[in-house]
Amino acid sequence: MKGTLCVIGSFAIGCLAGHLCGTDMGAQDISLIALYALMLQVGISIGSNKGLKDIVASIRPQNLILPVGTIVGTLVFSAAASLVLSRWSVFDCLAVGSGFAYYSLSSILIAQVKEPTVGVQVATELATIALLANIFREMMTLIFAPAISKHLGSKALISAAGVTSMDVLLPSIVRCSGKEMIPLAIVHGIIIDLSVPFFVSLFCSL
């Protein structure tokens, strides 16, 4: 919750600073710089994990079933949302869902990729939807973590956490499901993390 509030606060401060100070750089240039910074942060966060070598060595084929299930399940429900949200195409909804709770990266990536084809306003609207949808995913999983683990199982909790199963929601997973779920949660988070740029870019380009 604290991390989510920090993200929202940073977003609001950025909007206010941009409005008051202005800049000679275009919105596309700024979003590109932010995107590169986020991708660098993703690489640093994964590479600095001291247990990464052991985690990678422990990966077994069966460990890949859960992240694949998370990706497929999320994309199916995202596509179904397009039946209700008539303004947005199925690919737009898939791009939003492909954030897998990584709200900062997915929103900036959507704005960056969609802007040349649909314009700044529409790209910004879709990026904002992605930001809020993925924040809500993290918040709902955090709030209902005990209920999800109890009624649906430990793996369901990891799946619901999306990319945050390896960081923000890892303490909740440990608390609700036990320490034995740590390796699976981290492997799941890393694989989902690596898939976000691929799927978001793919669906934004369709």
| For residue 204, pLDDT beyond 60 | yes
Rounded CA gap, 109 and 195, in Å? 13
Give the mean pLDDT of 108-112.
90
Structure confidence at residue 46 (pLDDT): 61
Residue 17: domain span: 2-205
Task: Please answer whether residues 109 and 200 qualify as being in contact, where contact means their C-beta atoms are separated by less than 8 angstroms.
Answer: yes
pLDDT band at 77 (very low <50, low <70, confident <90, very high): very high
- Selection from 161, 156, 102 nearest residue 131 by Cα: 102
